[in-house]
Amino acid sequence: MSSSTTHTSTIGAIGAPSRRNTELALLVFAVVIPLFAYMNVGLAISGELPPGMLGYGLGLGLLAGVAHLVVRKFAPYADPLLLPLATLLNGLGLVVIWRLDQSEKLQQRPTFSEAAPNQLLYSAVGIALFVGVLLLLKDHRVLQRYTYISMVLAIVLLLLPLVPGLGMNVFGAKIWIRIGGFSIQPGEFAKIVIAVFFAGYLMVKRDALALASRRFMGLYLPRGRDLGPILVVWAMSILILVFETDLGTSLLFFGMFVVMLYVATERTSWIVFGLLMSAVGAVGVASFEPHVQVRVDAWLDPFSKAVIAETGTDQIAQSLMAFGSGGVLGSGLGQGHSDLIGFAANSDFILATYGEELGLAGIMAVLLIYGLIVERGVRTALAARDPFGKLLAVGLSGAFAIQVFVVAGGVMGLIPLTGMTMPFIAYGGSSVIANWALIGILLRISDTARRPAPSPAPNPDAEMTQVVRP
């Protein structure tokens, strides 16, 4: 038996292909598809190819190329799907944001400014951060050292929108801050930082949380004092809901914690507790917080004149009508009227434009791409060899999944609307930058997971005895 065939993990056999060429091939598609979409929009709106076609194509191609080369060099065994999928979404997002820039109706709005150039800049910054993560973070386990610093940072980020003079109230939700000329959504960054904190914390405490319990009606009930952490996070989420009045952010953090707690302890009881607590919290807050009530009313009856008067906007009705008008195949890029949504058409409500112009077929494809990103993330968690990596990967993927569900569900009228945005496709710097960092971390974890184990040091005893011939 040759020592070169032994390995210590179930995955990442030595000699496993790095799949970098697969990634490159997929990336070509991820750049070419948005380019065609861009062309399509130009032809539909003005009958000619958009003037920025070459620059845009080169820009996106360059960004994707740089990202790919960095992955090839610094994370050669990373998951081959995540980068192309994120690039595709980001590219499509740029096209649709540019398409909405061309809408005369939106141009007439007093706050209008061209969003696509900014978004291209944010994407570049996002990919730079992605590259930075891969260059600087050689091993994700380093993050474990910053568990409690992360906690402090997360709390600061979450509290920032409440600081007077810094926070902005956008249609009731206080999840924005303004620094210089930029508006930032700290919650997007907090998502990552808080995942690091939860992963570090749970890795240490998971045995206590998992083992010390009593059995009651088939469920393992945790001891009272072990309930502490979940109660604290629950309280934090409730506070976010009450003070920032944003159901999405609140749901995101609580959901992420419950997912990670469940994975860490393998106890179903935590899920039951989590569901109960979030139900109690949401119903409780909705019963006295008028802004949340308004959102619930608008969700229950989006077309009622009274509700529209109460909320001051018919965005949800407009969004639903955009989806309905798209039908199965959509109106074609550049040929819909999703600009009727008005405010936030290119950010919170951008999915409605996909719905109208690409139809049911397009939305299903986009949702499946999101699903694929999430499942590759969970796959990374499965493959990871260390508990911290597992927890971090599942935390980030879970948060991503919840965010997609909460935003898309809100825009499609499945759940009450919240103030978050679709990762990668919606206009907004914070979101794009933070999500590129998230993909970077997932790639790092998957690279570590799939990297072949270093071959064991040569054992002199195992060497063939030299026969000394006289």
Partner 1 sequence: MNKPLRRIAIFCGLLVLALLIRDNWLQYVQADNLAEHEMNRRVPIERYAQPRGDIIVDGKAITGSQKVDGDDFKYKRTYKNGPMWSPVTGFASQRIGATQIESIEDRILTGNDDRLFFRRSLDMLTGKKKEGGNVVTTLNADAQKAAYNGLKGRGKGAVAAIDPSTGAILALASTPSYDPSSFAGNTNKEAETFGKLDKDSDKPMLNRALRETYPPGSTFKVVTAAAAMEHGLYTDIDDKTKSPLPWTMPDTTTPLKNEGNIPCKNATLREALRVSCNTVFGKIGSDLGKDKMLETAEKFGFNEEQFVPVRSNASVFPKEMDRPQTALSSIGQFETAATPLQMAMVTSAIANDGTLMEPYMVKELQAPNLDVIEKHSPKEMSEPLSKENAQKLQDMMQTVVNEGTGTAAKIPGVTVGGKTGTAQHGLNNSKNPYAWFISYAKTDSGSPVAVAVVVEDSDASRDDISGGGLAAPIAKDVMKAVLDSKK
Instruction: Using CB under 8 A, list all residues that contact partner 1.
Output: 104-105, 259, 262-264, 266, 303, 314, 317, 320-321, 323-328, 337, 340, 355, 359-360, 363-364, 367-368, 370-371, 374-375, 378-379, 381-382, 387, 390-391, 394, 397-398, 401-402, 404-405, 408-409, 412-414
Nearest approach, Cβ of 361 to partner 1 (angstroms)?
A: 9
When the beta carbons of 159 and 367 are compared against partner 1, the nearer one is 367
Q: How far is the CB of 372 from partner 1 (least distance, A)?
A: 9
Cα–Cα distance for residue pair 453/336, rounded to 1 Å: 53
* Residue (117 or 387) nearer to partner 1, CB: 387
Q: Which is nearer to partner 1, 76 or 371 (CB)?
A: 371
Residue number with CB closer to partner 1 (155 or 367): 367
Shortest gap between Cβ of 133 and partner 1 (angstroms)?
23
Q: CB of residue 233 vs partner 1: minimum separation in angstroms?
A: 18
Asked if 191 and 157 count as a contact pair (C-beta separation under 8 A), the reply is no
Contact 300, 315 (CB under 8 A): no
Give the residue with the Cβ less far from partner 1, 173 or 401: 401
In the structure encoding, which two tokens stand for residue 448, read together?
A: 């570590």
User: Minimum Å distance from CB 17 to partner 1?
Assistant: 23
Task: Provide, rounded to whole angstroms, the least separation between the CB of residue 62 and partner 1.
Answer: 32
Least spacing, CB of residue 377 vs partner 1, in Å? 9
Pick 179 or 328: Cβ nearer partner 1: 328
Whichever of 127 and 411 has its CB closer to partner 1, that residue is 411
Please state, in angstroms and rounded to a whole number, the distance separating the CA atoms of residues 346 and 352: 9
CA distances (Å), origin 51, targets 39, 56, 153, 431: 10, 9, 44, 28
In the complex, the smallest distance separating the C-beta of residue 313 from partner 1, rounded to whole angstroms, is 13
| Spatial separation of the C-alpha atoms in residues 226 and 430, rounded to whole Å | 35
Min dist CB 258 to partner 1, Å, is: 10
C-alpha 72/C-alpha 450 separation (Å) is 14
> 78 or 251, CB closer to partner 1?
251
Q: Which is nearer to partner 1, 388 or 436 (CB)?
A: 388
Rg (CA), the chain: 24
User: Least distance (Å) from partner 1 to the CB of residue 425?
Assistant: 14
How far is the C-alpha of 357 from the C-alpha of 336, rounded, in Å? 6
**In terms of CB distance, is 229 or 409 closer to partner 1?**
409
